[in-house]
Chains A and B, each alone.
Chain A
Amino acid sequence: MTGFTSEDHQTHSLSYAGNAFSQVFSKQANPTAAAVANEWHTLFRGGGYPQADAIYDAGTALQFQSVCDQLTGAGSLYHGGNIGVNGDDFKILVSGYAVTAAATVVPATLQLVDVLGFYRITAVTTTTEQATTNSNTFTASSSSGLLLTFANDWQNFTKVRFTTTTTLPTGLSLNTDYWLVRQSATTAKVATSFANAIAGTVIAYTDAGSGTHTLTARLPRYSDGKGVQAIFFNPQATALGAGTPGLSLNYTNSAGTASRATPTSPSLPIGKTAATNSHILYSGATGAGKYGPYMPLASGDGGISLIQGIRNNATYTSGMYSVALVKPLAEFPLQVLGQAQMIDFTRGIQPSHPRIYDGAALMFLLKSGAATPANSAIDGKLNFGWGA
């Protein structure tokens, strides 16, 4: 079942059955520096609730790091828990509001996104394409269940698929999704569902299979990449160094076509020199190479399922940036100081019923229409519901 079948179904589900969860949020803008008008910023590291993230400037460079609401330090908004075991696993964002009474913040646009994962780039003086790490070979052994040992440190609950040159360990199949239950920086157990991974229910060990096995990370939600977009941003308090590089991706689109490239016409997205904390590097008011908030995709592409390469074609001198894959879900225009923008996503002019998957890591992006002081507060509430 997909959402609500009628107004009566919605009213009954949300009200009588109690299949609803409301979450009040209060997020602060960039804690380090004021945002310039017409720039987009993530609110990941801003204070308030949800709390500031602690992950986007950490972890192995260039490796895909999967993000879900269970991930410690993700700083995502709690949206009512997982509903997969209870019903139809089809939670939607029913309605919500956003408001700010902080001086000079309006006009602005607050966007709600589901952050799926990210890559961290620390070699910002490298001007050639840097290949990302989306897979690892592994060996299998027994340790209270099937234990995988590999070279890289994969985030807890990373969604993966397995391939092999000969035979996979018993319990693993080709073309099937599994979830890693992290044991250490180089080991993980395997669960057959996200719910099992959270519960710690893992696959038992029977044998190690034969040949060379490989795990490949997938997007944890929207795994085919439909509607998935990318942002380059500064994830830490230290500003990037001097430089205005062209920024590009080598990616697989949502149709499964690899080696898609960021279009160079009319211009590659161009990063801002000395971009500050949380700034989406290529967003801004004027000049060539300004886009916002998402990286342009090649003609006809509807999303990104995997990133193979990331490039800044000129040096950024110092600092780091991260590339996140996100699914845009909703937008709240902040038009007037103190006026809550209330939006009903089921009955508005353009009802969109944004779906919220189990594990969704809900966070915000903000486009400043005016210079936005550091720590400016944006309050609001999101109301979620699911069918009875």
Chain B
Amino acid sequence: MPLTNLEINEAFEDGRILRRSWSKAPTQTTASGIWFDLSMSAGNPFAQYYFATPMQAMALARSTDGGLDHGPPVAASGYRKFLHGFNIGSPSATAALMTVELLDYLAYWPGIAMDTGVQDLTTGISIPRWTAAQGTRLMIVEQNPYVGSAQFRVTYEDQRGLSFTTPTLVCNTQVSAGTIASSASALSGQSGLFLPMAGGCAGVARPVSIEFLTPDVGLVALVLVKPIATFQINQITAPHYYELPRDFGVLPEIKDDAYLNLVALPVGSLAATTLQGDLISLWSPA
């Protein structure tokens, strides 16, 4: 059935929608211009810490790991689920201004030590949900604090099964679990929220190995995600309500059992702040 305004109205009339609130209360110190993984912060949904066998792929799912509530699976009933609305706000002064990305976390490769040399990563699972790897990206998350400035590169397989190696990148010096290691406001060798891809790559299918060229203490995790939508907190006196079809002309699909969570680009520390909002999903005949 075409996903039109009439169908959206019908979904609301039929009760094929779900509205669930969420809140996050990070305690980690973050810094301006450095992306931060809110999935490692307390709140509702509860935190996860990429705790699994080192360097072996582990999938993430709503049913087993939590994440933002987007309702039960619908495919078996003949539906597809879409994100219709998102509400986000904070009363904490340091939470504004802030850009937030909603991600579907697909899998992670945890416990990567920062010793020099090549470390092979094992993928003994089928990557869930976005299996065609269209638009999927890798991010490197500080799992246990490091000192910083270690150089590394990652070899990955793209959507075609072709292997590429990133340019040499440099970890930032932000010492907090949840920090995106490749992100800094002005530091040579950074690639922002995600690791860079070679020309022609539509997405990352899986990481193959990681090589540290200079050593550090600490642990990092590689996390494979599918970006879903972007939101912005402009000020702290009112929540920001986004209606996806109205504001962006699109209702991003949420796959059954998706593990949804947020990454944020703050302009200061998020320690002792609170963020809250709502997620509104609807489902429509497939």
Which chain A residues in 4-33 approach chain B with CB under 8 Å? 7-8, 10-12, 14-16, 18, 20-26, 28-29, 31
Q: Please judge, given known A-B contacts A47-B188, A337-B97, whether A15 and B199 are in contact too, CB under 8 Å.
A: no
B82 interfacial contact with A, CB 8 Å: yes
Q: Which of B34, B186, B194 has the most CB of A within 10 A?
A: B186
Is B186 a contact partner of A375 (Cβ separation < 8 A)?
Answer: yes
A264 interfacial contact with B, CB 8 Å: no
> What's the Cα separation between A31 and B3 when bound, in Å?
45
Is A24 a contact partner of B194 (Cβ separation < 8 A)?
Answer: yes
A373 interfacial contact with B, CB 8 Å: yes
> What's the Cα separation between A39 and B212 when bound, in Å?
37
Closest to B170 in A: A47
With a CB–CB cut-off of 8 A, which chain A residues contact B252? 15
A71 CB, nearest partner CB in chain B, Å? 7
Contact of A78 among B201, B247, B250 (CB under 8 A): B201
Interface residues of B, count at CB 8 A? 56
A118 CB, nearest partner CB in chain B, Å? 17
A381 interfacial contact with B, CB 8 Å: yes
Bits for B246-260, please: 1 = Cβ < 8 Å to A, else 0: 011111110000000
**Which one of A96-104, A218-226, A248-256 is at the interface?**
A96-104
A100 CB, nearest partner CB in chain B, Å? 7
Specify the main secondary structure of chain B where it touches its partner.
loop
Is A50 a contact partner of B196 (Cβ separation < 8 A)?
Answer: yes
Is A99 a contact partner of B99 (Cβ separation < 8 A)?
Answer: yes
Is A21 a contact partner of B202 (Cβ separation < 8 A)?
Answer: yes
**Which one of B12-20, B51-59, B227-235 is at the interface?**
B227-235
Contact of A375 among B188, B193, B249 (CB under 8 A): B188
With a CB–CB cut-off of 8 A, which chain B residues contact A76? 199
Bits for A358-388, please: 1 = Cβ < 8 Å to B, else 0: 0000000000000001111101010101000
Is B232 a contact partner of A375 (Cβ separation < 8 A)?
Answer: no
Contact of B247 among A28, A101, A344 (CB under 8 A): A344
Interface residues of A, count at CB 8 A? 62
With a CB–CB cut-off of 8 A, which chain B residues contact A49? 191-192, 194-197
With a CB–CB cut-off of 8 A, which chain B residues contact A125? none
A84 interfacial contact with B, CB 8 Å: no
Is A100 a contact partner of B227 (Cβ separation < 8 A)?
Answer: no
Closest to A71 in B: B199
With a CB–CB cut-off of 8 A, which chain B residues contact A20? 250
With a CB–CB cut-off of 8 A, which chain B residues contact A373? 186
B267 interfacial contact with A, CB 8 Å: yes
B190 interfacial contact with A, CB 8 Å: yes
A361 CB, nearest partner CB in chain B, Å? 9
With a CB–CB cut-off of 8 A, which chain A residues contact B183? 26, 377
With a CB–CB cut-off of 8 A, which chain B residues contact A50? 196, 199
8 sample A-B contacts, Cβ–Cβ < 8 Å, listed by A number: A47-B190, A48-B191, A99-B99, A337-B32, A339-B234, A344-B247, A375-B188, A375-B190
Question: What residues of chain B have their CB less than 8 Å away from a CB belonging to chain A?
Answer: 2-6, 8, 32-35, 80, 82, 97-99, 101, 134-135, 137, 167, 183-202, 227, 230, 232, 234, 245, 247-253, 265-267, 284
Closest 7 A-B residue pairs measured CB to CB?
A: A26-B192, A101-B33, A338-B267, A338-B97, A49-B196, A102-B185, A16-B3
Can you add 19 more A-B contacts, CB < 8 Å, to A97-B99, A101-B266, A374-B186? A11-B245, A15-B3, A15-B245, A20-B250, A23-B135, A48-B196, A51-B196, A69-B199, A69-B200, A78-B197, A78-B201, A99-B99, A100-B185, A102-B186, A103-B185, A337-B97, A337-B267, A379-B99, A381-B101
